[in-house]
Amino acid sequence: MSENISGASVLIVGSVALDSVETPSGKVERALGGAAVYSAVAASFFAPVRIVGVVGKDFPSEHLAFLSARRVDIRGIQVVDGKTFHWKGSYKGDLNQAETIATELNVFQSFKPQLPPDYRSSQYVFLANIDPELQLDVLRQMESPRLVACDTMNFWIANKRAQLLEVLKQVDVVFMNDAEIRQLVGISNITRAANEISKLGPKYVIVKKGEHGALMYCGGSSCFSAASYPLQEVIDPTGAGDSFAGGFMGYLARCGTADEMSLRKAVVYGSTLASFNVQDFSLNRLQRLTQKDIDERYEEFKRMVFFESLS
Amino acid sequence: MSENISGASVLIVGSVALDSVETPSGKVERALGGAAVYSAVAASFFAPVRIVGVVGKDFPSEHLAFLSARRVDIRGIQVVDGKTFHWKGSYKGDLNQAETIATELNVFQSFKPQLPPDYRSSQYVFLANIDPELQLDVLRQMESPRLVACDTMNFWIANKRAQLLEVLKQVDVVFMNDAEIRQLVGISNITRAANEISKLGPKYVIVKKGEHGALMYCGGSSCFSAASYPLQEVIDPTGAGDSFAGGFMGYLARCGTADEMSLRKAVVYGSTLASFNVQDFSLNRLQRLTQKDIDERYEEFKRMVFFESLS
């Protein structure tokens, strides 16, 4: 696949942040981060991207310039008085679990997504992990998207359950990890839990398992199992799930499709983007990523799972 | 693939046991178990199997009859005075971890593998999880096997390290779980750890990850990622790793091959057998398993990981 940023637009709504992260490999202070940023940059390798978020006056203009240079439409980023959302966390040992040291919501606390009028006709929508009330607010502003996906987290499952269930009714795809899936439906078997979640709305339930890859359950009828790329070193897992979602959405928007086989390929492109993202801090690896890098790793994913052709 | 028990013989050495197991689905008392039994029965769906182990006089003759009925050669099972190895354990919650309540080694404590002379020319050898000194003892009795695989556990890694390293020098394939791999080489990244283990001898390092599938690292040069079958219910995980190894070895023996692509298919047949095995207690599911069941699930594995043909 050669450089080809085309197709429908992806609308992404979520956090734009400054992250202070420490891992066994080193640390960064107030580096570019946020779910919307990771997913927008990942999606930008495939399709035009529009981002909706909020930053404070302290947000370095070079970060906005970086997004613009990647052809991400940043008119949906509100710049308001105050400080940008700041997350501080650390990863230890096997890097599977972040320990949050500080979450300073700052201007993100009063975030109200406002979509520029021409964003409303976007065909592919990714609602990153934010308050489900805001996710619903975005959906009310949309015209008739082709495919809507959302992310969420344990806090919303516990504290905004009714609103989250309303979001799930309206989305086609939900991204969750094992623990969130079990928490949402109270079933420990992931296959049964995912099928229960499908009954709540989303035809596709994508289970993000980090180093163990991803599963995509399709309406209780089939299951796609995707590998994780066997990296020799993970530098910083921050943004892995969001770059996964971004690569997934970007690929679908470029194809303009929403069938199961396209979604399977999208999962692998998502895994590809996530595998690059964790190879450096912040957005550093994605900044220097090329289409050739993506194509080669996607081919590696194909070889990595091959054992026999379909009959 | 139709019923076709043929090819080279698989020699399996390991525990023959009576297991008392409790899981959220129920419990069994002194049911047939043991690593050699699970792997022998799984392998018996593909190739002729020879088993080496020891039982006490209390071992029910119906279990030996069951093995014989599956065309497992049981002349290598010594029946001695005393009681059979008895393991008592329970699984809770997500079934990923067994809690051992009792390990009564009994006659297994003084087990010395004695191979009937005609066993020594076996071409495929699986050294199930036993003292590495005994694994070496078996290898000394072998003529020139085509492929040797071994399993091990945390206890031997900690307490018989030198002997285990000597075993690793002499095997082609080692089966280990994540924790054992990390323990053996002290590296938390699984890819780097597996590649280090390859340098100790085994060309193929197979990482058993339970519900997350399996990885097969090939001499530091390639990695095969195999899915796990998305079961709606796991009744009893006991013997999953051993039925995996048995299906793996049996398939290779039937093909008479030892190339990487055969080993990849063997991993999937191993996953197939393991996925059936955990659907009931003891050997109950394997007892009623048919070739058609195996063929259908193997095809499901192919569909489950498919997203695009190789270029």
Chain A residue at shortest CA distance from B24? A188
Tell me what pLDDT residue B220 has: 79
Q: Do A306 and B310 touch (CB under 8 A)?
A: yes
- A188–B93 C-beta distance less than 8 A: yes
Instruction: Pick the closest to residue B113 from B35, B38, B53 (CA basis).
Output: B53
Taking only the tens place, the pLDDT of each residue in B182-223 is: 999 999 999 999 999 999 999 999 999 999 999 999 987 899
Helix (H) / strand (E) containing A177? strand A173-177
Please, which pLDDT band fits residue A2 given cuts at 50, 70 and 90?
A: very low
Q: Provide ipTM, 2 decimals.
A: 0.94
Q: Which among B188, B217, B310 is the nearest to A302, CB-wise?
A: B310
Tokens of B224: 């095969």
pLDDT tens digit string along A277-303?
999 999 999 999 999 999 999 999 999
Number of C-beta neighbours around residue B142 at 10 A: 17
Q: Are strands B72-80 and B86-91 parallel, antiparallel or unpaired?
A: unpaired
**pLDDT digit string, tens, across residues A77-102:** 999 999 999 999 999 877 878 899 99
Calpha distance B157→B174 (Å, rounded): 13
- Chain A positions in Cβ-Cβ contact with residue B303 (cut-off 8 Å): 222, 310
Closest-CA distance of chain B to residue A191, Å? 6
Mean pLDDT of the region B282-308 = 97
| Residue A4, pLDDT score | 61
Nearest residue of A to residue B296, measured between CA atoms: A311
B21 has pLDDT over 80: yes
**φ/ψ (deg, to 5) at A100:** -80, 125
Looking at residue B6, its pLDDT comes to 72
- Tell me how close the Cα of B48 comes to any Cα of chain A, in angstroms: 24
pLDDT at A250: 98
Residue A134's pLDDT band, with cuts at 50, 70 and 90, is: very high
Tell me whether residues A307 and B268 touch, CB distance under 8 A: yes
Q: Which residues of B touch A (CB under 8 A)?
A: 93-94, 188-192, 195, 209, 211-213, 215, 217, 222-228, 230-234, 261, 264-265, 267-268, 299, 302-311
Which chain A residue has the Cα nearest residue B192? A232
Query: Closest Cα partner for A259 from A168, A145, A172?
Result: A172
CA distance A15 to A31: 14
Query: Using a CB-CB distance cutoff of 8 angstroms, which residues of chain B are in contact with residue A272?
Result: none
Say yes or no for a CB contact (<8 Å) between B224 and A307.
yes
Task: Give me the total of CB pairs closer than 8 Å, taking one residue from chain A and one from chain B.
Answer: 104
pLDDT of residue A7 exceeding 90:
no
Chain A CB contacts of B191 below 8 Å:
230-232
Domains and CATH numbers, chain A: 10-305 (3.40.1190.20)
Please list, in sequence order, all residues whose beta carbon lies within 8 angstroms of the beta carbon of residue B159, skipping any fewer than 6 positions away. Answer: none
Give the minimum alpha-carbon distance from B207 to chain A in angstroms, rounded to a whole number. 12
Name the residue among A191, A304, A309 with its Cβ closest to that of B225. A304
Report the DSSP beta bridge partners of residue B18. Answer: B32, B86
Among residues B107, B111, B99, the alpha carbon closest in space to that of B14 is found at B111
Please write the tens of the pLDDT for every residue from B41-92: 999 999 999 999 999 999 999 999 999 999 999 999 999 999 999 999 999 8
If you measure CA to CA, which chain B residue comes closest to A234?
A: B189
Quote the minimal CA–CA distance from A73 to chain B in Å: 31
- CB B311 to CB A299 under 8 A? yes
* SS3 letters across chain B: CCCCCCCCCEEEECCCEEEEEEECCEEEEEEEECHHHHHHHHHCCCCCEEEEEEEECCCCHHHHHHHHHCCEEEEEEEEECCCCCEEEEEECCCCCCEEEEEEECHHHHHCCCCCCHHHCCCCEEEECCCCHHHHHHHHHHCCCCCEEEEECCHHHHHHCHHHHHHHHHHCCEEEEEHHHHHHHHCCCCHHHHHHHHHHCCCCEEEEECHHHCEEEEECCCEEEEECCCCCCCCCCCCCHHHHHHHHHHHHHHHHCCCCHHHHHHHHHHHHHHHHHHCCCCCCHHHHCCCHHHHHHHHHHHHHHHCCCCCC
Collapsed DSSP state (helix, strand, coil) of residue A210: helix
Q: Given this model, what pLDDT does residue A169 score?
A: 98
Average pLDDT over residues B4-21: 91
The reply to whether residue A191 touches residue B232, judged by beta carbons under 8 angstroms, is yes
In one-letter notation, the amino acid at residue B99 is E
CB distance B143 to B120 below 8 Å:
yes
Q: How far does B253 lie from chain A, in Å, by closest CA?
A: 17
